[in-house]
Amino acid sequence: MAKIDPNYLIGGMHGKPDKTSDTYLRQNKKTGKVYSIRRPRGPMKSSALQTSLRQRFAAVSKCSTEFVKQGREAVERGDVSPLTDAYLKVVAAFNEQTESSYLRSYVMKYHARVSETGEVSVVVDGFTFTL
């Protein structure tokens, strides 16, 4: 007797089956399991905690991006400054690790600090970069 696999019908599908549906489908390619979720229609409101975390992440991301951008520009110009030294130390440490794929995410995870007042800074071996 033949074994019937009902997942072959939706095996290649992911996302919404049609525009009007509020059900999302996704298949795990390794295991073959199909997952579905129903999402309520309409916009979902964020809680105060979610909003504050988004704002904090945006501030940390902005500071880390500026540190990387200004450090790269300083190295390209050939400047000799504490920023250049800190940037080169971070790049060397980033190249030695395998956990983070992007320099900015590495800076955010290991060097960005947020004070009690909400001020964001990047700290590398005593050098502090703030916006």
pLDDT at 11 over 60: no
Residues spanned by the domain of 66:
56-130
Domain count, the chain: 1
pLDDT tens sequence across 42-66: 777 888 999 999 999 999 999 999 9
Beta bridge partners, 129, equal 122
In a domain, 10, yes or no: no
In a domain, 43, yes or no: no
Under the banding of pLDDT at 50, 70 and 90, the label for residue 22 is confident
pTM of the model: 0.65
In a domain, 21, yes or no: no
The predicted model gives 15-29 an average pLDDT of: 74
In a domain, 3, yes or no: no
In a domain, 2, yes or no: no
pLDDT tens sequence across 114-123: 998 889 999 9
